[in-house]
Amino acid sequence: MSYARKIIFAENEQALKTIDSIFIIHKVVENNRGRAIPEWAYRDVLYMLIHYSIASFEVLERKLSAEEKEEVYNVFYRFGMRMKLKDLAQNHIQWAHQRKTDMQNDLAKSDYTIDLFKQYKKHLGTVRYFILIEGQKLIIPERVRKLLGFKKISFITFILPFYKFSRVVHLHDLIKKLLLPKRYEKEIYKLDIE
């Protein structure tokens, strides 16, 4: 969360310093592992962040125009270039095609996937885990939905208008306080004021 804030809301020079520190951290991880993180893994994470940025905005706010999607893509493209990633799509349209192909060819549900969701449930608790899954249903790509066996309908679809209204009447902070773990309260508050 703090890295995203330091990149997205910072001046250009500070954002570049943050990206450089992320790059260095990953190089240290690679050295400790004794092998490089594959290029495709970096690209997959970057492409996932692009998808979630667009999808979550569209769920919470409004549909983005083609130009706005291109703008979002360009921010992440510059991030990827600064991280020295190769073979990145040149624009949003190419990205959409490349991501779809990559997900079709490379994405699979495994024992690690199942364990990851068990860990989510263990650490979030039943109620927050349920909300996480229902929220994911609104923004995950179709391929992921099929692999995970998620239905298209989410109960959040029905309560989203109430959440949007709560933002208008300034009750959304109370809702976040009730739903999100207390240990992240300060970081979430910082996101709202910066």
Does residue 98 share a domain with residue 118? no
Is 80 exposed, middle or buried, given 0-12, 13-18 or 19+ CB atoms closer than 10 A? buried
Q: Is the pLDDT of residue 140 over 90?
A: yes
What SS3 state is found at 191? helix
* Mean predicted lDDT score pLDDT of the chain: 84
Does residue 10 share a domain with residue 87? yes
Does residue 127 share a domain with residue 45? no
Does residue 88 share a domain with residue 24? yes
Distance CA 128, CA 181 (A): 9
The residue out of 65, 86, 106 marking a domain boundary is: 106
Report the pLDDT averaged over residues 23-50: 85
Question: If we measure between CA atoms, which residue out of 39, 68, 38 comes closest to residue 53?
Answer: 68
pLDDT, tens digit, 9 for 90 and up, residues 53-102: 899 999 988 999 999 999 989 988 988 898 889 999 999 999 999 999 99
Read off the pLDDT band of 194 (50, 70, 90): very low
What SS3 state is found at 154? coil
Does residue 51 share a domain with residue 120? no
Q: pLDDT value at position 134?
A: 95
Does residue 139 share a domain with residue 83? no
Q: Is the pTM of this model over 0.85?
A: no
- Overall domain count for the chain: 2
Does residue 73 share a domain with residue 143? no
Cβ-based neighbours of 79, under 8 Å, separated by 6 or more: 7, 19, 46
The residue out of 81, 106, 131 marking a domain boundary is: 106
Contact indicator for 84, 37 with CB cutoff of 8 Å = no
Q: Which of 18-32, 48-62, 122-136 has the lowest mean pLDDT?
A: 18-32
Q: pLDDT value at position 77?
A: 92
Q: pLDDT value at position 4?
A: 52
Boundaries of domain holding 130? 111-193
Distance CA 109, CA 106 (A): 10
Does residue 116 share a domain with residue 99? no
